[in-house]
Amino acid sequence: MKKRSFQIALSALSCALATVFMAVGLNVSFLFITGYIFAGIALMLPLAEDFRAGGFLAFAATALLCLPFGGIAYFYKLFPFIAFFGLHPLVNSLQRKYKIRRWVAWAVKAVWFDGMLCAAWALFSELFTLPFAWMEDWIYLILIVGGAVVFLPYDWLMMRAQGLVDHYVAKAGRRPPRGKPPQASGVRDDLGDVFGEDASAGGADGADGQEGGEQDR
């Protein structure tokens, strides 16, 4: 029960943080890529506990909550999060669970990333202006090649980020309750550390016996 409560709390925190990061990214033009990255890291929290259902629900809730916070007005910015960045941590978690070969997984995810870029351009190209006219004829090739080059370090960094999140979530999950009384320290604990519990117990019995003998005298 405690573990499930901890997982649900992580999912709620994950959704809240991801929504904040995405809302900032949607409304501050130069931070939209930062919003994708930090929202993706926030969505790793429940995945650190292998709570993939919570991770997916956190992603879905984030996408919905972002709609009134700029997601409708700037849907072209929210679309990459829905189509790729928000689901990427979950796919990485499934990759680790089923132990899929790294290069096979990278190739599949790179195709997915390139597909998202091409779909985004096809849907929202009228909102962007290319710096050079010749790029209009080669835009899909540029997106595919450039996307594959960019995706490799991005995927590597996000996998490392998941490792860090796993580490700190594990530490938080093993934290003792705040109300737990501190261990008593004294001669008996020291004896137990050096000679073992039996020696400590024996020393205690001997001390009790000696006190009893002195009382009889």
Looking at the fold, whether 125 and 191 belong to one and the same domain comes out as: no
- Taking alpha carbons only, the member of 134, 131, 132, 92 closest to residue 113 is 92
- Taking alpha carbons only, the member of 113, 66, 123 closest to residue 85 is 113
Q: Helices 52-66 and 2-27 meet at what angle, rounded to 10?
A: 30
Looking at the fold, whether 191 and 134 belong to one and the same domain comes out as: no
Looking at the fold, whether 114 and 165 belong to one and the same domain comes out as: yes
Taking only the tens place, the pLDDT of each residue in 8-27 is 999 999 999 999 999 999 99
- In whole angstroms, what is the distance from residue 17 CA to residue 78 CA? 16
Looking at the fold, whether 196 and 140 belong to one and the same domain comes out as: no
Q: N- to C-terminal Cα distance for the chain?
A: 57
Tokens of 31: 């931070």
Looking at the fold, whether 122 and 205 belong to one and the same domain comes out as: no
Average pLDDT, the chain: 86
Looking at the fold, whether 88 and 169 belong to one and the same domain comes out as: yes
- Taking alpha carbons only, the member of 54, 55, 32 closest to residue 43 is 55
Band of pLDDT at residue 193, cut at 50, 70 and 90 = very low
Taking only the tens place, the pLDDT of each residue in 26-43 is 999 999 999 999 999 999
Taking only the tens place, the pLDDT of each residue in 149-189 is 999 999 999 999 999 999 999 999 875 444 444 454 444 44
Task: Enumerate long-range contacts of 16-23, CB under 8 Å, 24 or more apart.
Answer: 17/42, 17/45, 18/42, 18/43, 18/58, 18/59, 18/62, 18/86, 19/61, 19/62, 19/65, 19/66, 19/69, 22/62, 22/66, 22/69, 22/71, 22/78, 22/81, 23/66, 23/69, 23/70
Q: Is residue 131 part of a domain?
A: yes
Q: Which position has the token pair 């050096």?
A: 194
pLDDT given for residue 2 in this prediction? 82
Looking at the fold, whether 30 and 127 belong to one and the same domain comes out as: yes
| Domain housing 25 | 2-173
Model pTM?
0.78
Looking at the fold, whether 131 and 30 belong to one and the same domain comes out as: yes
Tokens of 174: 């093993």
Q: Is residue 182 part of a domain?
A: no
Count the residues in the chain: 217
Structurally, how many domains does the chain consist of? 2
Looking at the fold, whether 134 and 202 belong to one and the same domain comes out as: no
Looking at the fold, whether 20 and 60 belong to one and the same domain comes out as: yes
Asked if 83 and 119 count as a contact pair (C-beta separation under 8 A), the reply is yes
Asked if 70 and 27 count as a contact pair (C-beta separation under 8 A), the reply is yes
